[in-house]
Every structure is written in C-alpha cells, then in structure tokens.
Amino acid sequence: MTNESPFRKNRAFYIGVVLTVLEGILSGCSYLSVYIVLTALASGTITAGMVGAVTAGLAVIFLLRLVIYSTGYTQVQIGGAAVSKRLRLLLGDKLKKIPLARFTQGQVGQYVNTMTSDVGSYEKILTHSSGNIIKNAALSAVLVGFVCTVWLPAGLILLAVVALLIPDLWLSFRVVKVYGVAKNKVSAETVSGIVEYIDGIQMFRAYNMGGVKNRTVTQAMEEFSRVCYQYEAKGIPIGFGYNIISWGSVPLIMVLAAGPWAAGTLSGVDYLMLSMLPILLTKLTASIAIDLFEWKHLMVSKRNIENLIQEPEEAGEGAPFAPERHDITFRDVSFSYMPGEPVLKRVSFTVPDGKLTAIVGDSGSGKSTILNLIAKFYEPQSGTIAIGGQSIQTVSAERVLAQLSMVDQQVFLFDDTVRENIRHARPTATDREVEAACRDAGCDGFVEKLEKSYDTGIGENGSLLSGGERQRLSIARAILKNSPILLLDEATASLDIENELAVKQAIANLLKEKKTVVMIAHTLSIVKNADQILVVADGTIKESGTHEELLAENGKYAAMWNAEQKITV
C-alpha cells in the first residue's frame, strides 16, 4: 500500500466545491436586487428602465447560477464517484490480503457493511453533504454581512445565531459518537445475522425456526431498532432547541428595529428586509445543522473504512513458491480457534511426496483443521509446516494455494454456466480442456442433458443441480487445475448411494496422476489402500501406518474398523 491517502480528493471535486460556493454567493445577489427595487420604489425614484435593468440583471444571475450549479454539481458527482471507485477497488484488494481466518470470526457482517453501506455513505458526504454545507455557509455569510450594513445590531444578533451552531453541533456530535457508532456496529451484526439466516433458511424452516421464531435475527433487528430510536430521541431535542432559539431571532430583531424605524433612523424598506432576511438565515442554519449532524454520522463510515484498510494482512511474501517436491511436514504444530481450547497439540507427521495419506478420527478431533492449516486458511500458534522442505510461514496463502487443489464436502459454485464454473480453476483453459475434465469427473452424462449443455446456467451456488452433481463439478475443477497437491475433505459425505459411487469414480480418475494426496474420509473402507493412515484423537496423532499395520496394533484404528464392519454386515 502507498502512503497516499485513499480519501484524497481530485481536481473535479475541488472545481465542483468552488463553483458551489460561487453559486451560493450569487443566490444572495438576488436579495440585493430586491432591496434596490424596494428602495427606489419607496423613494419614488423607480423607473421602467431601472426595473428592466434589475430584471435583466436577475435573469443574468439566474442563468449564471444555472450554468454554475449544473457544472459544479456534475463535477462534485464525478469527483466523489471517482473517490468511491478508488475506495471500492482498494478495499477489494485489501480483502484478498486479510487472513482467511478473519472471515470466520464474526467479521463478515462488518466487511459487507463497509464495502457497501459505508463506502456509499462516504460518497454521499462528498457528493451531497459537503456541497450543501459549503453552499449554505457561503450564503449565510453573505446575508449576515448584508444585514450588518443595513443595521449593525441586527447583524450582530444573526452572528450570534450562527455562533450558537457551535454548542449545538458539539452536543449533536456527542450523540453521534455514542449512538452513531453503536448503530453502525449493530447494523453490521444484523447483516451477519441475516446472511447466516439466508444461508441456513432450509434448516431453519425444517425445524420451524423461520420468521419470528429465529431469535438470533429478530434480536439483532430489535437491537438495531432500539439503537435507532435512542439515536433519534437524543438527537432531535438538540436540533429542536436550536431551532427555537434561531427562530426567536426573527421577532427579536423586529421588536428592536421597530424603535429606529419609528424614529425615522431606519427606512421602511430596511425594516422590511430586516424582518425577512432572518427567516431565510434561520432556514439556512437549520439546514447546516442537519447536514453537519448527518456529516458527522457519515464520518463513522469513513472511520470504518479506515479500520478495514488498517487491518493486519496475512503473513508471508508474494514471491513465487514452486518447491521441487511436494511432501508435507508438520513439526510440533499447535493450534486453537479459541484461546485455552487447543484443537491440535504439538502434532508432528510427514505426508510423503506423491503418496496418498488418509486422516481418520472422531468428529471434532482436528482432521479438517489439519487441511485448513496446509491451505493456510489459518496460521498455527506454534510449530512449523513445510511443503517440499520449505516452510510456508513466510509464503503468502495465495502462493501456497496455487500448489493445491481442494475438494470439500461444502461445494461453492458461482451463478454462472457449467463451463465457466469449471474454468475458474484455470482461466486460460480451452473449451476442450474443460470438457475433458468434465468427462474424467463423470459430469458429461448429466451436463449433456441440460438445456444448453456446458453453457447452461446452474443458479446461485449451483442450486439447479443435485448434491452429487455439484460435487462432481468441484472434482472437475480439481482435475482441470492439476495441482501437485490434492486435499480431499470427506468429499462423499451426505450423498446417496448412486451419487457416492459416481463421486468415488470421479475421485479415482482424479488420483490417476501422481500427486501428493491428503484425504479425510468418514468410512474406513475408502482409505484402507492408502499409503499412510493417520489416526487423530484429542488433537494428537495417536497412530500412523498402513491399514494392515494399524490392524496389527489393535488400537483405536482397529476398534474403528471392527465397529464399521459390524455396521455394514
């Protein structure tokens, strides 16, 4: 990342701001024209020529304002959108560098909120709030200055009204600091809850937990509603109090100016203007107060963007990582998701290069965690993980993952065609290579039956396909990527018999090439021919060896094998 601020403004934005200020000043000239006409009318010196000249002047001012406003508004919009675009691209690049573990620690809602709502809010600061504040401030300054020239006491009163914006805004900003930040935080939690709810909607409905019965979502929304109410309840009285004071300046000036008017030291036209202009200034200051209150709230969004930009990035360098061999070594590796709750305890083992290593064990014993550490989805708290003798601690996750292909029981597919979903594994692959990978994965049978064959859309996350079909597409991806290391995490879990057989055949085709394979399986019969079997229990490697060697030990693996045989008999 460069030292240049991602929030830096551009030339278009500053041109727009200057033009907005100029338009605000010109709008004040309209009242000066009215003052000139009324003065001439009162003194009896008004003529048709003067009226025509003033009218022409107003027309010129109006046309100038129209051109200046449209140009300034367009420039501010262009400038603000450019800053917003830069921020979105920067944040998108930043998300690629944040450790993957962060996306499983309740941060998803905050990331979604920041990338969408917060960036949009900051753009609103640039394109709307800033321009309105500057324009109204410029016009207010013109009006106060004009009133001071007409009758100084009235100008001083209006100046005091403007000065009272300072304590008003101080109190408003305190409300934003307390409730605006809380509102933003609760909003992120609500987004996380909604995302989780949508992802698990089928399960929630199956257990009658949809709608109001889903307490996680409803409580998040109730808390969001409560914070929003508190925010408004604390903020509105402050603005209402300031409005009472500012509007009180109107009758105050009228009463005080009545004496000089009656004494003849203040003309009727001056008294009329002194009665009218405070009303306009009151509306302007009220608008400024509202815009600044909103601006302060929107600055919470800027702070969220800054916090995301400052998040620690994953350890490791982006230098090429291409080890000559692909054995995997764990040496005294310890890991825990939560402090004080170890999942792996000083685990040591070696996965031989070009061999099949199976990992078995009870649910929750740490099997999937081992695969996640190999893929650098997480970083171990201690110990060393090496591929081909090279530690991956100083290598970026992106470089490590380039050496891996993964087939998980949780398949993710894009809302795209069959062809493009597979091509994501290797964007440069030809159509022929994609179709060959499909055939090896056993996909061609069902793909050819689809309406547009390989060019058929499969819906969001492959919703138009069955579980077995989705799994075979993920295997086709792995075949197309053709990485030297293959990680299989219970790829046949939760499938019916027919689909399980199809997926097993697809995996067999995937294993034809000589690769370093680490496989997790829920049935031991699948892995009995593995070159090495690791038995994980209580966060440690309890046993290791071939199927025959482990049966001979008559330990945990033998007990698991015997139990499985009884079930299948």
pLDDT for the residue 567: 65
Q: How far is CA 123 from the centre of its chain?
A: 15
Q: Is the pLDDT of residue 506 over 70?
A: no
pLDDT for the residue 21: 84
Amino acid at 464: L
CB of 111 within 8 A of CB of 83? no
Proportion of the chain above pLDDT 90, given as a percent: 11
Convert the pLDDT of each residue in 301-314 to its tens digit: 888 888 888 888 77
pLDDT for the residue 158: 93
Amino acid at 314: E
Amino acid at 1: M
Residues 272-281, mean pLDDT to the nearest whole number: 90
Q: Which two tokens stand for residue 357?
A: 């290593």
Q: Which two tokens stand for residue 44?
A: 């009896």
Amino acid at 432: R
Bridge partners (DSSP) of residue 544 are 534
Q: How far apart are CA 104 and CA 254, in angstroms?
A: 65
Tokens 């109190």, residue?
Answer: 171
Q: How far apart are CA 97 and CA 4, in angstroms?
A: 19
CB of 279 within 8 A of CB of 250? yes
pLDDT for the residue 208: 59
pLDDT for the residue 108: 67
Convert the pLDDT of each residue in 125-184 to its tens digit: 778 777 788 888 888 888 899 899 999 999 999 999 999 988 988 888 888 777 777 777
Q: Is the pLDDT of residue 479 over 70?
A: yes
CATH number of 11-309: 1.20.1560.10
Q: Which two tokens stand for residue 395?
A: 């290598």
Q: How far apart are CA 504 and CA 519, in angstroms?
A: 12
Residues 226-248, mean pLDDT to the nearest whole number: 84
Q: How confident is the model at residue 562 (pLDDT cuts 50, 70, 90)?
A: confident
pLDDT for the residue 124: 79
Q: Is the pLDDT of residue 253 over 90?
A: yes
Q: Is the pLDDT of residue 185 over 80?
A: no
Q: Is the pLDDT of residue 523 over 80?
A: no
Strand ranges for 284-340 from DSSP E: 328-338
Q: In 341-396, which ranges are continuous DSSP H helix? A: 367-374
Convert the pLDDT of each residue in 414-461 to its tens digit: 888 889 888 988 888 899 998 888 888 888 888 888 888 888 888 877
Q: Which two tokens stand for residue 528?
A: 């009995």
Q: How confident is the model at residue 248 (pLDDT cuts 50, 70, 90)?
A: very high
pLDDT for the residue 315: 67
Q: Is the pLDDT of residue 519 over 50?
A: yes
Q: Is the pLDDT of residue 385 over 80?
A: yes
Residues 36-56, mean pLDDT to the nearest whole number: 87
Residues 106-132, mean pLDDT to the nearest whole number: 77
Tokens 């680490």, residue?
Answer: 518
Q: Let me know if 404 is exposed, middle or buried by CB neighbors in 10 A (0-12, 13-18, 19+).
A: buried
**Angle at the Cα of 395 (from 390 to 397), degrees rounded to 5?**
120
Q: Is the pLDDT of residue 566 over 80?
A: no
CB of 9 within 8 A of CB of 123? no
Amino acid at 233: A
Average the pLDDT over each of 122-136, 178-192, 342-356, 527-541 and give the range with the smallest value: 178-192
Phi–psi pair at 424, nearest 5 degrees: -55, -25
Q: How far apart are CA 137 and CA 462, in angstroms?
A: 55
Contacts (Cβ under 8 Å, ≥6 apart) of 516? 326, 327, 328, 351, 352, 353, 354, 355, 484, 485, 486
CA nearest neighbour of 378 among 12, 100, 31: 100
Q: Is the pLDDT of residue 101 over 70?
A: no
Strand 485-489 vs strand 516-520: parallel, antiparallel, or unpaired? parallel
Residues in the chain: 569
pLDDT for the residue 1: 45
**Angle at the Cα of 409 (from 413 to 196), degrees rounded to 5?**
65
pLDDT for the residue 220: 74
Q: How confident is the model at residue 107 (pLDDT cuts 50, 70, 90)?
A: low
Q: Is the pLDDT of residue 15 over 50?
A: yes
Which own/partner contact pairs does 110-115 have at CB distance under 8 Å and 24+ positions apart? 110/188, 110/191, 110/192, 110/304, 110/308, 111/308, 112/188, 112/191, 112/192, 112/195, 113/184, 113/187, 113/188, 113/191, 113/304, 114/301, 114/304, 114/305, 114/308, 115/88, 115/91
Helix, strand or coil, per DSSP, at residue 391:
strand
CB of 434 within 8 A of CB of 419? yes
